[in-house]
Structure 1
Amino acid sequence: MNVITLTRLELYEKIWSTPMTVLAKEFNLSDNGLRKICKKHNIPTPVMGHWQKIQYGKKTAVIKLPNKNLEEQIKINISQTKPSSEQDPKIDLVSESIKNNKNLVFKVSDRLSRPDIIVLDTQNYIKGIKADAYSRIKGTIETGRGMPSIIVTPKNIARSLRILDNLIKNFRVLNYKIVVKQDGLTIIANEDDEMKISIREICNSVMVDTDFKWKTRELIPNGKLAVKAGRFGTYEFVDSKKSLIENQIAKILIKIESDFLAMHEMRIRRRLEETKRKELEKIELEKQLTKEDELNKFRQFYNDAHRWKNYSILKEYYDFINTQPDKSSQTEQWLEWALQKLDWYNPLTNSKEEFLDDVDKDTLQFKKKTWF
């Protein structure tokens, strides 16, 4: 039985980092079911259109979490939620591949033997930490930044390290890249698809008396371990009466491998969609350029026609002056000048004129100059 246990803050962060439809599927819930849980625990949800705005790079408001410091535990029992209508056949293939991989070890050792360097560093780090009664979760030991995330009571330290060692060694067999970042242990597969892995002890939320004569809520560890995994740490494998974490290693690996496969397929789909989008944009751009080219040709045709009409009027006037019997020397000079300008203005000849090169023949205005 898989039980997801989250604080209000954790669920709030997931709600605002993952679309509701995607997160609901990870919890095996309907969208409405997840919204009801959020409403019950006073967790605000994104308004309609929030993720579309983010997709197109637009700004959108994020509603702050009321009573952020309220340490309320939220449990989601996967077995009691609405089951998926159909299981992806790829999951069956992943399950078969994992179970038939003879290099994988599904049994957690009773003692830590030849631990992975990451586990050895974590073990040495934990040796210098003592349980603190004033920590966020009383009586627990918590690893710091730059270490695999572990929050357990002292009696569960050895067990947590053995589980972590088994998982890391299996991750290496599956060719995952393993990195310890500031926020904990990260496994990377395919093309930089990432998942966070952490171990914590399940806590019960209880009301206790204080020295100030009022009650406060505290988180009390109950001894059960949980392995949290996922891109956003969205699901957990928890100790139960029927099955301890040590007996769920195969199930954990199948889930992680299936999710990595889903991420990879999503990446491929997005690439195909992006390629298709660019092809459509290219087609539209070429179509638009063709339209603009056609329009420019017609404009030139239109302008040439009007220039020809104006040219015909000018030529008619020129011929009239030229046919006058008593032309002065000044008139002869003008006729020579006018003939050059007619050749310059004629749309069929378009001869050049030194002093009129920067004039638009259609508007008879000087072209705008740029200094760049």
Structure 2
Amino acid sequence: MDKITFTRLELYNLVWKFPIIQIAKHYEISSMGIKNACEKMQIPLPGSKHWIRLNYERKSIPKLSGDYKGNSQISILRKMYESPLRKTARSTPLIALIESIESDSKAPSKVLEFLNNPTGIIRKTQNYWNHAELNRNVSETPEEIIQLSVDQKNTNRALRFMDALIKLLEYRGHQFKKSNDNRDIILMHKEIEIDIHLREALKRIPPKTNKDSADYIFTGEFILQIKKGSYKKEWRDGKLPLENNLTAIVAKLELIAVEEKQWKEASF
């Protein structure tokens, strides 16, 4: 299930800077989930009258208890209204945006069976993987190469998916780029950066003897993860392959960017 993880300090700072209902809306989690998390982590909460007072009338913020011995992080389940497999009687902003993207006949919203005129970074990544034997001793991923954590036999599928994703994002006015520390990021609306990573799930093979170590093998299941601050979301192969979620992924990225922009504007 989709979760969002906070450190104790992050959650403490949030609940004393913004009303819980605003935090819940921004992160798509329930107000009760936030309150329960604060109770578990011994985080004091503002009283109901705190937010109706002027800034200079508000009491000083209580400090975090130093006696807390629990976990330093906590995960809160996100609301699942955006699940593409869930049937709903009414539309949501996500569903409406997905339908808008899919109704655009000019939008490159399909993953092709073969690479066709790939983007520059896809060509460079393909060349890198084609020469993987020569590059096996390279300790760091070269600049301008997408970081793909997949079995080499599945690189063609990974490249086709990422090529389609990048082209659809660019068509929508966004940009795929490398960060200064070599992370793969999506630049939404030329200002909101969201980390993105495609990987293949691993399966642990138990050791045969006590002297052996466990082994890990690729399963063929693709997982795409996006990350913005403490917020994370994943799409993975399931009843439908990851390729079927292309428009949903782009729509979700755009909604995250819009909320992040509104969040920043409200913070000043």
Query: TM-score, normalization: structure 1?
Result: 0.48
Question: Taking structure 1 as reference, are residues 152 and 130 closer, same or farther at Cα in structure 2, changes over 3 Å only?
Answer: farther
In structure 1, the partner of 2:164 is 166
Aligned equivalents of 1:198 and 1:132: distance in 2?
21
Aligned equivalents of 2:135 and 2:100: distance in 1?
44
Matched position secondary structure for 2:123: helix
Asked if the contact 2:129–2:152 (Cα under 8 Å) also holds between the matched residues in 1, the reply is no
Instruction: State the shift of 1:196 in Å.
Output: 1.3
Aligned equivalents of 1:116 and 1:101: distance in 2?
21
Question: Taking structure 1 as reference, are residues 143 and 247 closer, same or farther at Cα in structure 2, changes over 3 Å only?
Answer: farther
Deviation readout 1:72-98 (Å, 9 max, x if unpaired) = xxxx9x8xx864599994334423332
Question: Taking structure 1 as reference, are residues 24 and 93 closer, same or farther at Cα in structure 2, changes over 3 Å only?
Answer: closer
Correspondence 1:262-277 to 2 at 5 A: 262-270=259-267, 274=268
The worse-fitting range, judged by mean Cα deviation, of 112-121 and 147-156 is 147-156
Correspondence 1:187-266 to 2 at 5 A: 187-190=186-189, 192-209=191-208, 213-214=210-211, 216-232=213-229, 234-240=232-238, 242-266=239-263
Give, as a single letter, the amino acid of the residue that structure 1 aligns with 2:148: I
Matched position secondary structure for 2:161: helix
Deviation readout 1:70-124 (Å, 9 max, x if unpaired) = xxxxxx9x8xx86459999433442333222333222211111110001111111
Correspondence 1:100-115 to 2 at 5 A: 100-115=103-118
Give, as a single letter, the amino acid of the residue that structure 2 aligns with 1:160: A
Asked if the contact 2:183–2:195 (Cα under 8 Å) also holds between the matched residues in 1, the reply is yes
The worse-fitting range, judged by mean Cα deviation, of 183-192 and 110-119 is 183-192
Give, as a single letter, the amino acid of the residue that structure 1 aligns with 2:198: I
Structure number with the bigger relative contact order (C-alpha 8 A, sep ≥ 6) is: 2
Instruction: State the shift of 1:193 in Å.
Output: 1.0
Instruction: State the shift of 1:262 in Å.
Output: 1.2
Matched position secondary structure for 2:173: coil
CA-atom RMSD in angstroms: 4.5
Deviation readout 1:326-349 (Å, 9 max, x if unpaired) = xxxxxxxxxxxxxxxxxxxxxxxx
Aligned equivalents of 2:118 and 2:149: distance in 1?
20
Query: TM-score, normalization: structure 2?
Result: 0.65
Correspondence 1:134-173 to 2 at 5 A: 144=141, 146=143, 147-173=145-171
Asked if the contact 2:178–2:184 (Cα under 8 Å) also holds between the matched residues in 1, the reply is yes
Asked if the contact 2:176–2:187 (Cα under 8 Å) also holds between the matched residues in 1, the reply is yes
In structure 1, the gaps of 5 or more residues are 6-10, 36-44, 50-55, 67-75, 136-140, 275-372
Aligned equivalents of 1:255 and 1:167: distance in 2?
13
Matched position secondary structure for 2:126: helix
Matched, 1:123 2:126: yes
Instruction: State the shift of 1:156 in Å.
Output: 0.9
In structure 2, the gaps of 5 or more residues are 15-19, 45-60, 83-87
Asked if the contact 1:208–1:216 (Cα under 8 Å) also holds between the matched residues in 2, the reply is yes
Question: Taking structure 1 as reference, are residues 155 and 25 closer, same or farther at Cα in structure 2, changes over 3 Å only?
Answer: farther
> 1 or 2, which has the higher helix percentage?
1
Rg larger for:
1
Aligned equivalents of 1:25 and 1:219: distance in 2?
37
Asked if the contact 1:143–1:151 (Cα under 8 Å) also holds between the matched residues in 2, the reply is no
Deviation readout 1:195-224 (Å, 9 max, x if unpaired) = 1121100112343235xx256544332111
Count the aligned residue pairs.
224
Matched position secondary structure for 2:199: strand
Deviation readout 1:111-149 (Å, 9 max, x if unpaired) = 11110001111111222324999x9xxxxx998153322
Asked if the contact 1:142–1:149 (Cα under 8 Å) also holds between the matched residues in 2, the reply is no
Aligned equivalents of 1:18 and 1:103: distance in 2?
42
